[in-house]
Homo-oligomer: A and B are copies of this chain.
Amino acid sequence: MTTDNKATNIQWHDGTVSRADRQRLLRQRGVVLWFTGLSGAGKSTVACLVEQMLLDRGRLAYRLDGDNVRHGLNKNLGFTAADRQENIRRVGEVARLFADAGVVVLASFVSPYRADRDAVRALLPPGDFAEVYVKASLAAAERRDPKGLYKKARSGEIKHFTGIDDPYEPPERAEIVLDTEQLSPADAAARVLEHLERGGYLAA
């Protein structure tokens, strides 16, 4: 898989409808909240709660999820470092389109490599991206093991499993850190909502 730019003879069509028009319609600003952390840290749980809280406020959110996206867009990718990189790159590009549509994107991916997450950050204008580090120790995540994946990784049934035989590089400048060994899921979700409110994302 190359990431060279092969496309040539390309022109943009801007149309007459702008992102600002869509944001006024939706009364919100498009943004990508990028939830990263170990499997079992609570990324999807918190993202689902945030999604519900936004709906309750009449705001449009959409979740992009590692598991879901791998059934469709990225079903031709595996779990090698190169495939993980392309996986995150494609999701980042899709998240950018959703943010441009005016949607609050809740992207929930282990996304273990700092360089890949930083590449997504670099895709988006400043303020359109917030890294949400859903933090739990490996011991806690493995104790929860909601999908039974750690057990399979320990037995060798799954290879390249983050935290076991593949690395996780913690964020160094996450906009939001949620320690799910300290915070309840509801309290963690409330912190994300505060970030959105304080940043003016729920008005346009």
Contacts and interface: CB of A to CB of B under 8 A. Distances in A.
B101 A98 contact: yes
Interface stretch (A10-18, A133-141, A165-173, A176-184): A10-18
Give the contact-size bracket for chain A: 35 or more
A17 B47 CA distance: 11
A194 B144 CA distance: 52
Contact of A52 (B15, B63, B72): B15
Contacts of A2: 76
- Say how many copies of this protein the assembly contains: 2
A83 interface: yes
A60 B68 CA distance: 24
A72 B93 contact: yes
Contacts of A149: 9
Contacts of A61: 17
A9 to B, nearest CB: 6
A83 B13 contact: no
Given A2-B76, A93-B73, A52 B17 contact: yes
B67 A90 contact: no
Nearest to A96: B72
Nearest to A61: B17
A55 B94 contact: no
A103 interface: yes
Given A1-B76, A10-B67, A147-B11, A52 B16 contact: yes
Q: Which 5 A-B pairs have the closest CB atoms?
A: A15-B48, A6-B78, A7-B70, A73-B93, A72-B93
29 contacts: A3-B76, A4-B76, A5-B75, A6-B83, A7-B71, A7-B74, A7-B75, A7-B77, A7-B79, A8-B158, A9-B147, A9-B149, A9-B152, A9-B158, A10-B71, A13-B48, A13-B63, A15-B48, A16-B52, A17-B52, A17-B61, A25-B58, A25-B60, A60-B101, A72-B97, A73-B90, A73-B93, A94-B94, A98-B98
